[in-house]
Amino acid sequence: DQQVKQNSPSLSVQEGRISILNCDYTNSMFDYFLWYKKYPAEGPTFLISISSIKDKNEDGRFTVFLNKSAKHLSLHIVPSQPGDSAVYFCAASDIIQGAQKLVFGQGTRLTINP
């Protein structure tokens, strides 16, 4: 099942710089996209989401961009902080399947270097 793909398994960024995490999807029925952050031994924690009717949503240091024609979304974190080091999951929900039956990407491990 490759409906949601995060092609970079890991990313290393200097503290204070911008972190950009990418996600691609194939199912055009997806209408809502979410980013979750996961620390070891914890469950995924909701970060930010975007509806398919928007192309940008911002919340503090986190911004999600959606490019529907390219079926691509990205999460920007600026400035990056050491506490941002975690695994980031992109997830999508579709109109037909509905609801909170989320389809997840494989995750990208972000490391922020001091």
Partner 1 sequence: EPEVTQTPSHQVTQMGQEVILRCVPISNHLYFYWYRQILGQKVEFLVSFYNNEISEKSEIFDDQFSVERPDGSNFTLKIRSTKLEDSAMYFCASSIMDRVSYNSPLHFGNGTRLTVT
Among residues 93, 108, 110, 112, the one that binds partner 1 under rule CB under 8 A: 93
What's the first-to-final CA gap in the chain, in angstroms?
A: 36
CB of 33 or CB of 77, closer to partner 1: 33
Question: Distances in Å between the alpha carbon of 114 and those of 3, 38, 48, 83, 98?
Answer: 35, 20, 25, 11, 41
To partner 1, the closest distance from the beta carbon of 75 in angstroms equals 15
Question: Distances in Å between the alpha carbon of 43 and those of 62, 71, 103?
Answer: 20, 27, 16
To partner 1, the closest distance from the beta carbon of 114 in angstroms equals 27
The SS3 call for residue 39 is: coil
Q: Restricting to residues 41-60, which ones interact with partner 1 according to CB under 8 A?
A: 41-46, 49, 51
**Cα dihedral angle (72, 80, 85, 13), rounded to 10 degrees?**
80
CB of 13 or CB of 37, closer to partner 1: 37
To partner 1, the closest distance from the beta carbon of 102 in angstroms equals 6
Which residues of the chain form contacts with partner 1 (CB under 8 A)? 1, 32, 34, 36, 41-46, 49, 51, 89, 91, 93, 97-107
